[in-house]
Structure 1
Amino acid sequence: MFMFLFLVVALVVVVGAVTLSVVGGGDSAALPEALPERLRDPLPPDRPVHRGDVEALRFPLTLRGYRMADVDDALGRLGAELAERDARIADLEAALSGARPVTTTSSPITSTASPATSPATSLEKPAEEDHR
């Protein structure tokens, strides 16, 4: 009988404590919404991306993997950097090929054009018969 009374009193105390904590929980009854963990973009905005920047890139985990917007933003930035570098390389290669004599290769595009109409860039002085 003593054990039964002890369990009833313990149950009343626990129920009372839970009720008081729920009802008189302070200023706000519910917990505030937790802000989602967002990627703090470690890719530098003021200089080109280097290998170390990409290796240091870590995405925060969410319920089902990674936040798609963060991954899309990072991949978009890396794609833009690669496109910019490819364009710069193409410009430099075009400038370099303009400074050196061009050797003609037989390709379907150059084989249809006549030598008189196809502009060949060379540092050599043109022959007299080329002036028409």
Structure 2
Amino acid sequence: MLDAVAAVLTVLVVGALLFLGGSVLLGRGEAAPPADPDRSPLELPVDRPVTADDVRGVRLSVTVRGYRMTEVDWLLEELARALEERDGEVAALRARLQDTGRAAPGAEDAPSVRAGGNGSHGDA
């Protein structure tokens, strides 16, 4: 009988210690206060558009209950690729607009090239 009481007390003490340890490591269920939108430990340029290298340079702080670094690193890499694609498209469109602007004054004399044509045929 005394052995059964000792076993029950041992199980209760071990359970209480596990619960206490889990509470200390994982928190006690309080919600974190909302982040201040005007303050961020991250620094991004304010005087120019954000570039892919700016995104790649971001380093997030890690806490005990932090994030999965591989997932966030993957996400940042995808965002950097999207920014590179956007910047490439913008540069191509600007160059195309500049070329169109230069060709506009003499456009009446030059033969027009239609979509799908390569401009090598005399009659389009």
Is the radius of gyration larger for structure 1 or structure 2? 1
Higher relative contact order (CA 8 A, sep 6+): 2
Please report the TM-score for the alignment, with normalisation by the length of structure 2. 0.42
Please report the TM-score for the alignment, with normalisation by the length of structure 1. 0.40
